[in-house]
Amino acid sequence: MAKLSGKIAWVTGAGSGIGESAALMLAEEGAEIVLTGRRREPLESVAARIAAAGGKAHVQPGDLMVSAQVAAIGDWIKANLGRLDVMVANAGLNIVQRDWSNLTFEGVDTVIHGNLSSAFYSVITALPMMRAQKDGVIIVTASMAGRWISGLSGATYTAAKHGVVAMCHTVNMQECVNGIRCSAVLPGEVATPILDKRPVPITPEERAQMAQADDLGDLIRYIACLPKHVVINEVMMCPTWNRGYVAALRRNG
């Protein structure tokens, strides 16, 4: 039997990249999937792929930066599906103008709300359902920028992802008594559409050497299928050909 048979999983940022892969892989394990993102069309495409493989998915579009929309989706899940077993808070974004020399108020708001506020809204919405059933897994896509500081990701994204990692640990500190586990997933460079926002374009050859969305989707599936008595608090996944390491080797060589 599939490990997540009879379970409900809610995936945000599910229309592309890591979220899309996670949704497909959780569905392969038997979970019924709720797909959320800002654009309906990509979500419908993912839902169709799940249905074609014999699974079941529900499209619930919404802007994760708007708390009322997140809460409304949570209400829909509770009213129509009755439970929530897996929450994958994956929605996130970055901007091109990310350095202090060109950072704007609008850019700060976009990145903080798109990465940190959206994660908080998702977790706040998921927790009551999980508390009621004394069980649940929350998996949050953070970033290596949430643990290490460099200039690559930009000041605001780095600060937001540090906040996301801290948030995950506080969930475990307070909700472990309710059977709830929270995992922060910290990818290095992953070949997903967010790379299109890099100030310096990434070549196809460079993207091929990076971690791929399916690598992260498989990791998320593994975490979701773990037994209730254990939690992976924080995990990093990076490409073997780590461009930061390679650049350092070349400088020092």
Q: Which residues, including other chains, have CB under 8 Å from residue 57's CB and lie 6 or more apart?
A: 23, 27, 32, 33, 34, 35, 46, 47, 50, 51
Q: Going along the chain, which residue ranges are E strands? A: 8-12, 32-36, 57-59, 86-89, 136-141, 180-187, 234-237
CB 30 within 8 A of CB 3: yes
- Judge whether 157 counts as a catalytic residue: yes
Query: In whole angstroms, how far apart are CA 40 and each of 16, 35, 43, 58, 205?
Result: 12, 9, 5, 11, 31
Name residue 34's beta-bridge partners: 10, 58
Selecting among 121, 157, 222, 245, the annotated active-site residue is 157
Residues annotated as catalytic are 157
